[in-house]
Amino acid sequence: YKKLDFLQKQINAHKEKLKRYKENPDAFDNKEMLKNAPSEEIRQKIIEGRIKHLETEISNFQKSINDLLGGGG
């Protein structure tokens, strides 16, 4: 069940990352994409895209756990 432990740790890490990102997106702007966004609208789209990406990764890890446990999606 090492893979289950790994996947659960990934879920927990990504949930924490998502929480921290939502609280302060600028703290994670290491590529300065938010800082250099040409408009507030584009800045919001970048933020929303990152949130969606993290949520998708969490869902994929959960699906993998479900598959391992034989529960499907």
Distance (Å, rounded) from C-alpha 66 to C-alpha 11?
13
Query: Which residue, among 55, 73, 58, has the nearest Cα to 7 in the 3D structure?
Result: 58
| 64 and 9 Cβ atoms separated by less than 8 Å | no
DSSP state of 23: H
Q: Are 49 and 37 in contact (CB under 8 A)?
A: no
The residue assigned the tokens 């949520």 is: 55
Per-residue pLDDT of the chain in tens (73 residues, 90 and over written 9) = 899 999 999 999 999 999 999 999 999 999 999 999 999 999 999 999 999 999 999 999 999 999 999 976 5
pLDDT at 19: 98
Phi, psi of 71 (to 5 degrees): -90, -10
